[in-house]
Amino acid sequence: MRGFLLQRKSFLYEQARNILETYDLATASARNARPEPTGILTVAAPSSLGRHLLIPIAAEFMRLHPQVSLDFRLSERQVNILEEGAELALRIGELSDSSLRMRTLGRVSRFAVASPKYIQSHTLPAEPSELNEHLCLGYSRFSSRTDWVFESEFGRHAVDVECVFRADDADTLQAAVLAGMGIAILPGWLVQPFLQQGTMQRILPDYMVPSLPLNVIYPDPGLLSLRARSFLDFLVEKKDSFIGTGKTELI
C-alpha cells in the first residue's frame, strides 16, 4: 500500500510540475522572452552545511531570480525527497543505489580535533588506537560505539571508539569540542576558522580522516522544474567558491 501511495504521489508530482512548466514556457513565448524560473523551490540539506555554506549561495541566487522563493529543509536525517516535497537534496557521504539522479559538487574534508582546554588535561594520542583512552564525541545517528577511520602512509586504521557524548547536529558537536568535552571528527567548515584562532587543534595530524563526497540528488531530469534546474546549475557553477578551495574539497 505504501509503495502504491508513493507511486501515486510521484505521478501527481510529475503531472503538476509538467503543467506549471508548460505554463511558464507558454507565458515566456507569448512575451517573446526567455522563460524565468518562478515559484517555491524546496531544497533538503544537512543542517550545518545549510546554515554555513548554502545561505550565501541562496542569497545570490535569489537576487538573480527574484520570482523564486526558497524553502530549505535542514536535517541530519536522509529524507525521501518525494515524501518531503523537495525537488533537490544535498547529501554528504556515499549513496546507496537509488532511482534518483546524482551530481557531485566536491568532497568534504574532515578533521579530528579537540580544544586546548581538553588537551591541557590529557596526553595527546600518538596513533589512532590510543583514542580508546580519550573522551570521544560522535553523531547520534550511529550507535554509541562506532568506527573512526584514518589513513596514513602505512594504510587504513579503523578504531572502534565509544562516544561519551553524542548529538545529531554537527554544530552541537563543534560547541562540545570548544567547551573542552573531548575529541570529535568535524567537517572542515566548522574547523578551519578555529584552527587559525588557536581555539581548536588537530589531533593525530599524521593521520588523515577520509573525505566524503557532497552530492545533489534529484528525480529524473525530465521531471525537474525550471527553478530546480536553475538552482542545480547555479550550485555547479559556484561550487569552487562554495566549496572554498577552488579545487575539489571543502576545507
Res 132: pLDDT: 93
Mean pLDDT of all residues in 74-100: 80
Over residues 113-155, the pLDDT tens digits come to 999 999 999 999 999 999 999 999 999 876 556 789 999 998 9
Pairwise CA distance, residues 41 & 69, whole Å: 6
3-state secondary structure of 33: coil
Global pTM?
Answer: 0.80
Same domain, 80 and 120: no
Instruction: For residues 3 and 1, give the distance between their C-alpha atoms in angstroms, rounded to a whole number.
Output: 5
My answer on whether 92 and 174 are in the same domain is: no
The pLDDT of residue 40 is above 90: yes
Q: What's the confidence (pLDDT) of residue 81?
A: 77
Q: Which domain holds residue 19?
A: 2-107+212-250
Paired strand residues for 147: 160
Strand pairing category for 136-139 and 183-187: parallel
Backbone phi and psi for residue 207, each to the nearest 5 degrees, phi listed first = -120, 135
Looking at the structure, tell me whether residues 103 and 216 fall in a common domain.
yes
CATH assignment at residue 164: 3.40.190.290
Residue 189 has pLDDT above 80, yes or no: yes
Task: Supply the CATH number for residue 29's domain.
Answer: 3.40.190.10
> In whole angstroms, how far apart are CA 99 and each of 33, 167, 217?
35, 30, 10
Residues 191 and 216 in one domain: no
pLDDT at 20: 54
Residues 102 and 122 grouped into a single domain: no
CB-CB contact of 74 with 50 (8 Å): yes
The pLDDT of residue 12 is above 70 = no
| Higher-confidence position of 223 and 156 | 156
Asked whether residue 6 falls in the same domain as residue 102, the answer is yes
- Residues 219, 102, single domain; the answer is yes
- pLDDT above 70 for 196: yes
- Average pLDDT of the residues in 184-203: 95
Residues 169 and 25: their CA atoms lie apart, in Å, by 41
User: Tell me, what's the pLDDT at 27?
Assistant: 56
Local structure of 163: helix, strand or coil? strand
pLDDT score of 4:
42
Instruction: Give me the pLDDT at residue 77, please.
Output: 77
Number of domains in the chain: 2
Do both 173 and 57 map to the same domain? no
| Residue 32: DSSP 8-state | T
